[in-house]
Amino acid sequence: MLLHAMVAEAGRDLALESTFYRALHAADQHRHSRIGFVPPAERHRGEDQRVLARRQALYQEARNRIPTRWSGNTCNWTLAGAVTLNPERVQEPQSLKGAA
């Protein structure tokens, strides 16, 4: 909220403010498929393991209650490992930069 107040006081245009809200939405509400449909903020706080375990239990309970509704397995709610934004890019280790 402090950043929002600073932006409003500075008299920035509406586009900047809407960009700020889009960034908040992406981090706190949007559920990303690559990390198990949890928001990045939850993953960063370490809450994703608890959320995914609850989902797994809920789906398994639903499947056990009415097995005829399920034609296959439930979703894979296992915890995702390390995730990168651009996996096709090979990152040079920091220790090698500027060594030449």
Give the pLDDT score at 57.
95
Q: Across the strands, what pairs with 38?
A: 32
Q: What is the pTM of this model?
A: 0.59
Least confident window among 8-12, 64-68, 93-97: 8-12
Give residue limits of the domains in the chain.
Answer: 39-68
Give the pLDDT score at 68.
94
DSSP 39: -
Give the pLDDT score at 18.
72
Better pLDDT: 97 or 22: 22
Q: How far apart are CA 6 and CA 1, in angstroms?
A: 9
Better pLDDT: 35 or 11: 35
